[in-house]
Amino acid sequence: MSNNQYSQRDNSIRTKDRIIAWPRMGNIDLSMKALVMGLDAKFILPPKNTNEALEIGVKNSIEDICLPYKLNLANYIMALEKGANTLMMFQAPGSCRFGNYTKMAQKTLNKLGYKYDMCVFDMYQSKMKQTLEAFWHVTRCLNPYKYYKGFSTGFNKAFAIDTAERLLFYIRPREIHKGEAEKCYKKWYKIIDETTSVRECKKLKKRVIEDFNKIQIDKDRIVPKVFLLGEFFVLLDPYTNQEIEKTLGDLGIEVQRQIFFSDWLEHVLKPSLFYKKESHRERAVRYAEKYMKRAIGGECIETVGDTVYAARHGIDGIVHIMPFSCMPEIVSQNILSKVSKEEDIPVLTLVLDEQTGKAGNITRIEAFADLIRRRKIKRSKKCNQEIK
C-alpha cells in the first residue's frame, strides 16, 4: 500500500469511539471478531447476506459490476446504519476488480452522506506488517500480548471451522442418519464462535475432528468426488453460491472445495521462510503451466491448475462457479473447455448474479451429478473386470 493510501486514513475518530465493521465473506467473521475482541476494540457485524442485502447493493451499484462487490457495498451500508464508523477491508493486486472495491465503495458511500474511516490494507504487500499497521491504526493497541491473543484465537478459529467444513463435505454424502453432519457442524460453529481463551481455541480443531468421527457413515457407498472451484467470494459465501455444497452433498456427491479462508490466511500472512509445504497457489501454477503461462489476477490460474490436478488425481468432476462479468474467471472458463477435453474430466460452470434462479441451477447440478455418478460406476466395473 502506498504512503498516499495511508494518508487517506481518518485519524479524527477517537480510538475509544471507533466501532469497526467488515464485509461478510464465508466464516471470516469468526476470525475477525476474535482478533478485534483480543485488541479490546468495539465492532459491529453486518447482517448475513440475504435478499435484503442484495437489493441494497444492486440499488447503489452500477449495473454490470460483479455480485461480490454489490454485496460488499451492502455490508458497508448496513454496518454504517447500525452505528459503525470504521470500515476494514483487505485488497489484492492484479486485474481483478477486487483491488478497486474500496475505491468504488468510498465514492458511493460519500455520495450517500456517510461519515466513516476506511482502513484498507494489502495483504500481498509486506504481509504481516501491513496487517499489523492496519489494526494498530484502528485500535492504537500497543500491548504485544493482546496482538498475540487476537491473532492466535483468530487463526485457531479459522482452522477449526474450516476443518469442520471439510468433514461436513466428506460425511454428508456418506452419513447413515441424514442430517447428523449438518447438526454437528452447526453445533461446532456456535462453540467456536463463543470460545474466547487462547488455550481453548488451540484445542478446537482436535475436538471438532473427534466429534465428527463419531458420526456413522457407509464406507462402501459409491460417492463421486468433485472439486468446487472458482472466484474466492462466491466459493466462501453460501448465500451467493446458493448453498451449492449442500445441494451436491444431498445428491450424494463429496465436495472438495479448493479455497478455504484458513489456507489462504496462512499462506498470505506466514513468512515464506516458515512455509515449508507447497502452497495451493504454487501447486496450481505448476499444474496450469501447459494451458496458462502466468497469473492474470483473481483465482484464474488456481481454477485452471486445480482442474488439471483433479483430472490427474482421480477426481470425478469439476464444478466451477463465478460471478457474472468476472474477467479472470471468464478467461479460465474459456480455457477449461480445452482442459476438460484433453484431461478427460467433466466440467460444469455456473455463472451467478442477482438474476440467477436457484431452480435452474439445481436442474443442471442434478444432471451433472448423474453424469459423473454413471462415469464412476462404469470405471469401477471396468477396473473390477481388469483385476479379475
Q: What is the DSSP string of 56-74?
A: HHHHTS-TTS-HHHHHHHH
pLDDT band, very low/low/confident/very high, at 150 (cuts 50, 70, 90): very high
Among 29, 269, 232, 245, smallest CA distance to 131 is for 269
**At residue 129, does pLDDT exceed 90?**
no
- The Cα 380–Cα 215 span in angstroms is 27
Specify the range with the lowest mean pLDDT, choosing from 47-61, 116-130, 273-287, 337-351.
116-130
**At residue 5, does pLDDT exceed 60?**
no
The predicted pLDDT at position 6 comes to 37
- 46 secondary structure, DSSP code: P
- The Cα 56–Cα 38 span in angstroms is 32
The predicted pLDDT at position 36 comes to 92
Contact 297, 94 (CB under 8 A): yes
The predicted pLDDT at position 194 comes to 95
Give the residue-averaged pLDDT of 132-136. Answer: 86
The predicted pLDDT at position 269 comes to 63
Contact 221, 192 (CB under 8 A): no
Q: Is 39 exposed, middle or buried (0-12, 13-18, 19+ CB in 10 A)?
A: buried
- The Cα 369–Cα 388 span in angstroms is 29
Sheet of strand 347-352, all strands in order from the earlier edge strand to the far edge? 254-257, 225-230, 317-323, 347-352
206: part of which helix (H) or strand (E)?
helix 198-212
Instruction: Give the whole-number percent of the chain exceeding pLDDT 70.
Output: 89
Give the residue-averaged pLDDT of 275-287. Answer: 85
19: part of which helix (H) or strand (E)?
strand 19-21
CA distances from 81 to 133, 137, 274 (A): 27, 22, 42
pLDDT tens-digit series, residues 99-108: 677 888 999 9
Residues 6+ apart with CB under 8 A from 208: 160, 163, 164, 167, 188, 192
pLDDT band, very low/low/confident/very high, at 3 (cuts 50, 70, 90): very low
Residue type at 273?
L
Give the residue-averaged pLDDT of 4-17. Answer: 66
- The Cα 97–Cα 58 span in angstroms is 17
**Mean pLDDT value across the chain:** 89
- Considering 114-118, 246-250, 263-267, the range whose residues carry the highest mean pLDDT is 246-250
Share of the chain residues as helix, strand and coil, in percent rounded to the nearest 5? 55, 10, 30
The predicted pLDDT at position 271 comes to 59
Give the residue-averaged pLDDT of 319-326. Answer: 92
pLDDT band, very low/low/confident/very high, at 42 (cuts 50, 70, 90): very high
Query: How do 225-230 and 317-323 pair as beta strands?
Result: parallel
Residue type at 184?
C
pLDDT tens-digit series, residues 238-257: 999 999 999 999 999 999 99
Residue entry with cell 446504519: 81
pLDDT band, very low/low/confident/very high, at 26 (cuts 50, 70, 90): confident
- Per residue, what are the HEC states of 313-363? CCCCEEEEEEECCCHHHHHHHHHHHHHHHHHCCCEEEEEECCCCCHHHHHH
